[in-house]
Amino acid sequence: MQKNITNQELELLQQIDSRLSFMLDTTVALCDLNSGSYHKAGIEAVQTRFQSLFNGISDSYEERELAPIKCIDDKGGISWYQPAPMQIFRARPQAPLQILCTGHSDTVFPQGSSFDHCWTEDNRLRGPGTADMKGGLVALHECLRALHHSPYRDRFGFTLAISPDEEIGSPSSAPILAELAQSADFGLTFEPALADGTLAGARKGSGNFVLTAKGHSTHAGRDYFSGRNAVVAIAEAAVRLSRLSDEQSGITVNIGAIEGGGPVNIVPDNCVCRFNVRVSEPEQQQQMLQAIDAIKMDVAQHSGTELELHGHFNRPPKPMTAEQQEMFELLQRCGQRLGTDVQWRATGGCCEGNNLAAAGLLNIDTLGVRGANIHSHDEYACIDSFVERAQLSALFITQLIEFKQQDCTVQSSTEQGA
């Protein structure tokens, strides 16, 4: 039940009320197009649809070329993938409040995945990217569209950046996000909330790494002791890396994949280990890099193999600051006025909100639709959350407008007094 909603706000919210069918149809059309992070043609097809969707409420559109992404194959070989460009939409850049909205067009489901279409089950829209996060971007469009046709229009401007590489850690889009953050007052990211509406508060930092081993191949029966077993070296390194995990400090090292070896009568000369590191505090990043390097050097020395580390920390931790808490409470009050309970909690996950926070931009990063089971074939978005989340974001932006105006008034009064 809505409470204390002004007539102007009510007219804004009513513009969204009747748009559920459009939002669902648009989300299905987007999600039926595979856009795995390395499926460039699929991402470009999705980008074409996003361009059509957002052009009507934007003043300008730009496609920003991204740097090539280093890829390590299962033999330790290096290649380079040229991602699709980053899409950047802008509206009213001279308005007093500037909001940076972010999202991504890629999903974790590769080209050829069997999870390749949408269907509905009761209140659930199932399909690849329905929650993470094509559905969230559709809800954002409806939020901005309603504001575009309201008296609030000229009181804020927005930049919308849609990246094609978020699901692999934003290796190429991260520098552009940091650049765009410098000219914004606040950030909104439309990753999914949990099915019950809970948002992510503080977030861990994350880094993706690949450790490669090059040994010496010999016949396992005739000349075993002359060989240098790359699989054994990686196995030892993987165990030692995993033991760096520490529940009390919040550090985790997840060994995601080990690739290498072959016939059992041959000493393997190549092996690759892919792993992810999560940290709670910024200073832990350097500590972990030093620990990883020490393990690499020690294993290489006594195994006689050549070990090489690739990767880096791509998302610093996002702490819950006093300013961040204030913004969550403002969003919570918006939810109360709409009859929606808004809660948040710390999470080990990370997203572009980490990048924006590291660049100094206050942001809330789970304003997308409610959903669950993301990154799996059971992913779904809650159908009744499309209107709900679009309205919540629209009302929140009106409060950010007021918040900005009050801040400017206080600053002006202070300057006059000085």
Indicate the DSSP class of residue 370: B
In a domain, 396, yes or no: yes
Residue 284 domain-assigned (yes or no): yes
In this structure, how many other beta carbons lie within 10 angstroms of the beta carbon of residue 340? 18
Q: How far is Cα 130 from Cα 132, in angstroms, rounded to an integer?
A: 6
Q: Which of 288, 315, 342 is the last residue of a domain?
A: 315
Cβ atoms within 10 Å of 94's Cβ, excluding its own: 7
Total count of domains within the chain: 2
pLDDT of residue 416: 58
Number of H helices, E strands in the chain: 10, 18
| pLDDT on residue 405 | 81
Which residues fall within 8 angstroms of residue 56, CB to CB, at 6 or more apart? 145
> Is 153 found in the same domain as 87?
yes
In the prediction, which pLDDT does 94 show? 96
- Per-10-residue mean pLDDT of the chain, 418 residues long, equals 88 96 98 98 98 98 97 94 98 97 98 97 98 98 98 97 97 97 97 96 96 97 96 98 96 97 96 97 96 98 97 94 96 96 93 96 97 97 98 98 76 55
pLDDT of residue 228: 97
Last residue within a domain, chosen from 315, 331, 346? 315
CB count within 10 Å of CB 6 equals 10
Q: Are residues 238 and 355 in the same domain?
A: no
Q: How far apart are the first and last CA of the chain?
A: 46
Distance CA 252, CA 279 (A): 7
The reported pLDDT for the residue numbered 414 is 53
pLDDT at 403: 85
3-state secondary structure of 150: coil
Question: Model pTM?
Answer: 0.92
